[in-house]
Amino acid sequence: MNTHPYLRAYLAGVFVPTLVLPLLLIVFIVVRIVLQVPVPIERGMIFPMAVVPSLFGLWNMLYMCSHPHTHLPIGLHGAILPLIMAPVGALVATCLHVLAFGAHGVTWFQAAYVPYMLIAPCFLAALAGYYLVWKYIVGSLNRVLGIA
Amino acid sequence: MNAHDEDRLKELLQQALPPVEAAPEPGRDLWPAVLRRLDASPAATPLRFWAWFDGALLAGLAVFAAFLPASIPVFLYYL
């Protein structure tokens, strides 16, 4: 099991976003096709479909590469990822007109309004979520694949 | 190898190897002490703490999503 460790790290990393993608597709089908709600979900799916899985895989490869030197727990390593993904995702969403900045808050998908004062708690919640996902899902996958 | 050789070999082996004495058994049951040491080991306390911490984080996330449902599509966007 010592062959292709980086490939296995990449596959373990992309596991979680790959599981979430069908959920997004179901939401897309229900909201846009069944309910015909005029929300641009399809534009917002570019980032989670094209960027997030690759970033997860590359981040896990980076963990495997850096762990012998840093000894950082995988949960904390995963919790750092939103620091990169949040601005990149916001930039992509702004370019695709999925995210709009208003006077008192931001509007996602022309429907979900988040006041500016709640952005920091949202970010902290994202850190916590990523910490848990990486610690319990990606970490256990790494152990199963023999790369932890 | 005939029977005489086997007896001779057995005799030589018995001379070469000292007899095994019966291992003295402890006067009391040691297993409760092992359990006490496992419970009191320094690794057990942090593990329990982190389990509580992670559970509290998960509960906090659920409460946060319940109070601010608009955050759910944003979280899905980043997964």
Chain B residues with beta carbon closer than 8 angstroms to that of A129 = 61, 75
Nearest-angstrom CA–CA distance, B64 and B14: 77
Buried b (16+ CB within 10 A) or exposed e, A55-72: bbbbbbbbbbeebeeeee
* Interface size between A and B, measured as CB pairs under 8 A: 67
Q: Which residues of B touch A111 (CB under 8 A)?
A: 73
Distance from CA of B39 to the nearest CA of A (A): 24
With an 8 Å Cβ cutoff, is A132 touching chain B?
Answer: yes
- Residue B17's pLDDT is what? 83
CB contact under 8 A, B71 and A125: yes
CB-CB neighbors (< 8 A) of A118 in chain B: 68, 71
Domain span holding position A62: 5-144
Instruction: Output the average pLDDT for chain A.
Output: 87
pTM: 0.72
Number of structural domains found in chain A: 1
pLDDT above 90 (res B50): no
Residue B75 to residue A24, Cβ atoms within 8 A: no
Tell me how far apart the alpha carbons of residues A12 and A136 are, in angstroms, rounded to a whole number: 12
**What value of ipTM does the predicted structure carry?**
0.73
Q: What percent of chain A has pLDDT over 90?
A: 30
What is the spatial distance between Cα A101 and Cα A99, in angstroms, rounded to a whole number? 7
SS3 A139: helix
Distance from CA of A34 to the nearest CA of B (A): 18
Q: pLDDT tens digits for A60-98?
A: 999 999 988 888 899 999 999 999 988 888 888 888 888
Q: Which residue of B has its CA nearest to A120?
A: B71
Q: Which two tokens stand for residue A49?
A: 């479909």
Q: Which residues pair with A106 in a beta bridge?
A: A101, A114
